[in-house]
Structure 1
Amino acid sequence: MPKRRCGERDGGSTAKPWKRRLYLVCDDWDSGYSIRKFSLPADSGEGAVQGLPTLFWRVVARHHGGDMIIDVRTRCVVSGPESNSPARPIYFPVGEDRLYVLDSGCLELCRLPPEQSDVESDGDDYSSLDEYDSGSDIDSKDDWFWHQLPMPPFAIIDVTSYAMHPHSHGHSILVSIKSEDLAAATFSFETEVRAWNFLGEWTFPFKGRGHYESELRALVGLSKVKGAFGFIYACDVPNTSNRPPAWKRSKEKVFSKNPADKHVSASLVYLGYQRKFCLVECVLVEEDKACQEVKEDKDDQVLLEKPEGTCVPQRRRYMYRLMTFSLKYDKMGDLRVRHRRVRYYKVPSKVSKACVRQDPVVFWL
């Protein structure tokens, strides 16, 4: 892979400004993955169904390998370290040149080495940074390289939620864990001093990734547990007092309320401004509901099968339900979901069941 030229990292002085888009990754061809680029819905169209957007890029890769990083701006592919093939990696991007990867039994930093022009312009002495020492794993085929960081004091299989919160002096990786054999606990990794800290015996109320929203001054995440299924949580950023942070749960669910939609998986993406988010939910659409009845309870919507022989055959298909929305606190201090915009997209028949059953791989870049 050729070296980047001066100015190429940011598109160069003559490049057009980069306009952020939503990208979805699918395993809809035998030799690798397809990346689709979405325009966010401008109005609501709950009943409108369309095919996925035009193909943006195809990447040749083994399915479920998880050992590469893709730069959509330069269309470069970066391989992960061969010594540790990722099992269930969790990614924490920082700026445009650093990526922290939490994997089974390790934490690694992937970053771009400074170009000579960058060093001369900013005056930093990068030669003193230990991530550029002889122990670094530099791949001669590309500009990125990996560096081992202190191992986490927990197993990645026990991770329930995670987030990254910016501080005035660097960044902190926040990770909550819980299992049948372990008590609830939350840890932080301080990137400036490269050390793990124990924050307390509690976990974030959301599941999976939390997104820091500066106007709400909260970590925002999605709940997938019984009793709070499909709600949004806004959680205060934890401090060093070992006390669990305060949180609020949205008054409305964000998952589909259509009785024909059976929830399969979902990912929440922060759009980076004005409390705006995008939910990408995969649903299994039951086109003929003659075989089912809907029972509503205070927690969840439950689909009940009628006795065999009393219904007609159904047609099923997977759909991606794309919903943008904003969050705000009302006069009573309650968290509200506002300005919903919805579109449905057909999932290509070649997408594997393993792909639709895991949370959609989606990015706002």
Structure 2
Amino acid sequence: MQTGRGGEKHLYLVVDDWEMGYSIHKLDVDEFESTAGNKLRRLPEPCALRIEAPADHLVHHRPAQRRAPMLIYDTETASLAVGPRLTPALRPVGFMFIVPVGQRLYAFNPRRGDQQCSFEVLFRLSWRAERWSVGSVPAPMPLGKHETVTAYALHPDGRTIFVSARNWSRLDGEREGGTHSFDTRSSAWTLLRLKELDTWVGLRRDGFLCSCAVASRGGAAVLPEWKLGRKTLFREDPKSHVGAPMLAYMGGGRFCLVECAARPGLTVAEALSGEDGCVLHVAIFEAKYGKRGELETTALHLARSYLVTRLLD
């Protein structure tokens, strides 16, 4: 999600919608209408950028492609830069989380088998602004051997990264997990106490919006109560999803939900093998607490649905 100079909101979608590579589509969410949610349409053309990757080179980071670089797209200048090659620490899982902080990109793997999660930073070389480099962060992630990153967020101060992890093994003597903060200026990690957290909003696997209220600063540090929305936000059966749904915060209590699924009557395999096999839903809604403290969402009054082709999921 990107905010323009005039305050308008844009959503950038990277879609594998043609045989030779990927397309980056720019959507103006401020133009969504309340009556357009059920009408299938095409993604706007021309797209913001089309990336050609013949013979699967350049874009994919498969085990055999250890020399493939990272591509970095600048939404303000609409330019594409060829970044550094991924380090061995970032390659094993096949995907990674990237958090933009200022002019740097902090990248980490959610897990690395039985090894500690990797955490590295990508930055521009001062003497060659168009070139990028990758380096290690001085302070490694303070996670246990069996802890996996499950969520992350950037604090409004623009310098602090929150990372939540869960222990999937739960062996005797091991902690369940926790939320840590990383100060990008001091390179220091801190395990947060519950009373230091603000309200968090997330999306469960079944499509229910969930939130966690902050504990009182003057009270005991007890587990806060999780609140759930009344109904799922998904328009499609999760079994028909193509890729994971994405939830983006737009500010002012508004959220954007992106959901891609196989077209009705098609299996996921069939949807990925033919043209226009998928439906992409983009919906805007507001979230707030009701009079009784329950989590409420407005009707998905701003929405659009697109016919798309997915080839490389």
| Partner in structure 2 of residue 99 of structure 1 | 105
Distance verdict in 2 for CA 1:68–1:151, change over 3 Å: farther
Residue of structure 1 aligned with 2:187, choices 166, 169, 194:
194
Q: Does the residue aligned with 2:135 lie in a helix, a strand or coil?
A: strand
**Coordinate RMSD, CA, aligned:** 3.7
Unaligned runs of 5+ in 1: 1-14, 115-137, 203-211, 289-315, 356-365
Distance verdict in 2 for CA 1:46–1:82, change over 3 Å: closer
Residue of structure 1 aligned with 2:162, choices 168, 173, 186:
173
- Identity of counterpart residues, as a percentage? 26
Letter in 1 for 2:83: S
Residue of structure 1 aligned with 2:294, choices 324, 334, 337:
334
| Partner in structure 2 of residue 163 of structure 1 | 153
| Partner in structure 2 of residue 23 of structure 1 | 12
Deviations 1:157-210 (A, max 9, x none): 822222233459x4132222231356520141422332333447x9xxxxxxxx
Tell me, in whole angstroms, the C-alpha distance in 1 between the residues paired with 2:293 and 2:225: 13
Q: Is the 8 A contact 1:260 1:286 kept in 2?
A: no
Deviations 1:240-275 (A, max 9, x none): 98754443211232111x67994443111111x211
Q: TM-score, normalised by structure 1?
A: 0.62
Distance verdict in 2 for CA 1:19–1:177, change over 3 Å: same
Tell me, in whole angstroms, the C-alpha distance in 2 between the residues paired with 1:160 and 1:238: 22
Q: TM-score, normalised by structure 2?
A: 0.71
**Is 1:34 equivalent to 2:23 in the alignment?**
yes
Q: Is the 8 A contact 1:24 1:35 kept in 2?
A: yes
| Partner in structure 1 of residue 60 of structure 2 | 64
| Partner in structure 2 of residue 345 of structure 1 | 306
Distance verdict in 2 for CA 1:31–1:155, change over 3 Å: farther
Letter in 2 for 1:345: Y
| Partner in structure 1 of residue 87 of structure 2 | 83
| Partner in structure 1 of residue 209 of structure 2 | 232
Q: Does the residue aligned with 1:142 lie in a helix, a strand or coil?
A: strand
Tell me, in whole angstroms, the C-alpha distance in 2 between the residues paired with 1:181 and 1:30: 44
Distance verdict in 2 for CA 1:141–1:164, change over 3 Å: closer
Residue of structure 2 aligned with 1:252, choices 223, 231, 235:
231
**More moved, 100-109 vs 175-184:** 175-184
| Partner in structure 2 of residue 275 of structure 1 | 253
Letter in 2 for 1:159: V
Unaligned runs of 5+ in 2: 62-68, 267-275
| Partner in structure 1 of residue 42 of structure 2 | 51
Q: By how many angstroms is 1:343 displaced?
A: 1.8
Q: By how many angstroms is 1:90 displaced?
A: 0.6
Letter in 2 for 1:49: L
Letter in 1 for 2:232: K
Tell me, in whole angstroms, the C-alpha distance in 1 between the residues paired with 2:18 and 2:101: 31
Distance verdict in 2 for CA 1:259–1:29, change over 3 Å: closer
Letter in 1 for 2:60: H
Q: By how many angstroms is 1:327 displaced?
A: 0.7
Tell me, in whole angstroms, the C-alpha distance in 1 between the residues paired with 2:145 and 2:280: 32
**More moved, 232-241 vs 52-61:** 232-241
**Is 1:218 equivalent to 2:199 in the alignment?**
yes
Matches of residues 296-311 of structure 1 in structure 2 within 5 Å? none
Q: By how many angstroms is 1:63 displaced?
A: 4.1
Q: Does the residue aligned with 1:151 lie in a helix, a strand or coil?
A: coil
Deviations 1:6-37 (A, max 9, x none): xxxxxxxxx97584411110122344321011
Tell me, in whole angstroms, the C-alpha distance in 2 between the residues paired with 1:49 and 1:143: 41
Q: Is the 8 A contact 1:218 1:236 kept in 2?
A: yes
Q: Is the 8 A contact 1:263 1:284 kept in 2?
A: yes
| Partner in structure 1 of residue 273 of structure 2 | none
Q: By how many angstroms is 1:53 displaced?
A: 1.8
Distance verdict in 2 for CA 1:175–1:94, change over 3 Å: same
Q: By how many angstroms is 1:82 displaced?
A: 4.3
Q: By how many angstroms is 1:337 displaced?
A: 0.8
| Partner in structure 1 of residue 245 of structure 2 | 266
Deviations 1:111-166 (A, max 9, x none): 3467xxxxxxxxxxxxxxxxxxxxxxx8x582443331122234698222222334
Count of residue pairs brought into register by the alignment? 266
Distance verdict in 2 for CA 1:157–1:347, change over 3 Å: farther
Letter in 2 for 1:145: S
Letter in 2 for 1:195: A
